[in-house]
Amino acid sequence: MTSDNQQVVFSGVQPSGNLTIGNYLGAIRNFAAFSEAYKCYYCVVDMHAITVRQVPAELRRRTYETLALYIACGLDPNKNTLYVQSHVPAHAELAWILNCYTMFGELSRMTQFKDKSAKHADNVNAGLFTYPTLMAADILLYQTDRVPVGVDQQQHIEIARDIAVRFNGVYGDTFTVPEGIISEHGKKIMSLADPTKKMSKSDENVNAVVYILDNKDDILRKFRRAVTDSDTVVRFGEGKDGINNLMTIYSCFTDKSMEEIEREFDGRGYGDFKSAVGEVCADALAPVRAEFDRLMADKAYLEDVMQKGAQDAAYNARKTLSKVKRKVGFTTL
């Protein structure tokens, strides 16, 4: 909560690849709804992105792109604080302090750490391990009440809560204990090539993933090739991971219930259904792409947004950071 009693929302997206419809439906699309009633911070978390090796020029470009996508997806920079994590040093400072209040054992249990260290076995670095403490710092710095994310981040929200409660227990009320907001709809969009796996922007198989910025032909083609099953009936149910995923995506874009979708495609095959999913997805994303192209052509504007966002974030982060430093016993000059 802010000092004038406004509730706070914080979320972040890594500029670690081209954003997917998983990022869109599970996270970004839900952000704008908070802008009126809450003080909202939406951060491009470049410091998290380097826990996996990045090509510097690509990281820089994607940082701009992620910010442009925030705006293209409806986040008004005048109503939300949009900024880049590395522009606000308080994140790194608080992360170090919180590292000293986070247990080795609890970080070892994080499934994202286990997955990513298996995937990048040649680079299991300390940053990958302490990723959740940096995320806790992001959230706790702003006295955040709510954190809208996809379901894969639930465990990280839990650890942020545990760290806040632990710190408050030792030093008295310091941090607001945040709550995750995981929308029932679209909380976990699955890969089109392997519907038992989360759709992920760092997947090497570009056909497994629909990117927010894909053109209509690519979107239609990817959905047509999506892995399904040998059944022919469009029905939500067990053993139908591929169809369940496509129905979820269709439902997210049309607001239709599973029953309505089953009725709509009654007597029609998978081919028809896949084309329909591709059409609604492409139609919904077309305006986002157009706005994105317009914004990317105006770097100066994006830099102005980054600059103002970082200034506002740094000002508010400093309040919490000073309090924390005082509580742990650091001297001040």
Contact residues for ligand ATP, defined by CB under 6 A: 13-14, 16-17, 20, 22-23, 26-27, 149-150, 152-153, 186-189, 198-202
135 binds, among ligand LTN, ligand ATP, none (CB under 5 to 8 A by kind): ligand LTN
Cβ count within 10 A of residue 297 = 10
199 binds, among ligand ATP, ligand LTN, none (CB under 5 to 8 A by kind): ligand ATP
Can you list the alpha helix ranges (DSSP code H) found in 125-256?
A: 126-140, 154-171, 216-224, 241-254
Q: Give the 3-state secondary structure of residue 100.
A: coil
Stretch that binds ligand LTN, among 7-15, 32-40, 225-233, 289-297 (CB under 6 A): 7-15
Strands 146-148 and 179-181: parallel
Active site residue 240: no
Q: What are the angstrom distances between the C-alpha of 236 and each of 247, 249, 256? A: 7, 12, 13
Q: What minimum distance in Å lies between the beta carbon of 23 and ligand ATP?
A: 4
Question: How many angstroms from the chain centroid is the CA of residue 175?
Answer: 22
Catalytic residue among 39, 116, 187, 274: 116
Catalytic residue among 39, 201, 222, 274: 201
Enter the tokens of residue 37: 């009633």
Q: Is 69 in the site for ligand LTN (CB under 6 A)?
A: no
Q: Is 14 in the site for ligand LTN (CB under 6 A)?
A: yes
Enumerate residues 6+ apart whose C-beta is below 8 A from 22.
150, 188, 189, 198, 199, 200, 201, 209
Strands 146-148 and 39-44: unpaired
Interface with ligand LTN (CB under 6 A), residue from 8, 11, 186, 251: 11
Q: Is 48 in the site for ligand LTN (CB under 6 A)?
A: yes
Q: Is 313 in the site for ligand LTN (CB under 6 A)?
A: no
Report which secondary-structure segment, H or E, holds 67. Answer: helix 56-72
Interface with ligand LTN (CB under 6 A), residue from 88, 90, 94, 139: 139
Q: Is 46 in the site for ligand LTN (CB under 6 A)?
A: no
138 binds, among ligand ATP, ligand LTN, none (CB under 5 to 8 A by kind): ligand LTN
Active site residue 201: yes
Q: Is 91 in the site for ligand LTN (CB under 6 A)?
A: no
Kindly report the CA angle at 184 between 212 and 243, in degrees rounded to 5?
A: 65
Q: Is 153 in the site for ligand LTN (CB under 6 A)?
A: yes
Interface with ligand LTN (CB under 6 A), residue from 9, 10, 98, 189: 10
Q: What minimum distance in Å lies between the beta carbon of 97 and ligand LTN?
A: 16
Q: What minimum distance in Å lies between the beta carbon of 52 and ligand ATP?
A: 7
188 binds, among ligand LTN, ligand ATP, none (CB under 5 to 8 A by kind): ligand ATP
Nearest to ligand ATP of 174, 245 (CB atom): 245
Nearest alpha carbon to residue 84 among 305, 322, 281: 305
Residues forming beta bridges with residue 248, ordered by sequence position:
none
Cα distance between residue 175 and residue 123, in whole Å: 33
Q: What are the angstrom distances between the C-alpha of 291 and each of 65, 70, 213? A: 12, 11, 11
Which residues of the shown chain bind ligand LTN in the complex (CB under 6 A)?
A: 10-12, 14, 45, 48, 135, 138-139, 147, 149, 153, 156
Residues with catalytic annotation? 116, 198, 201
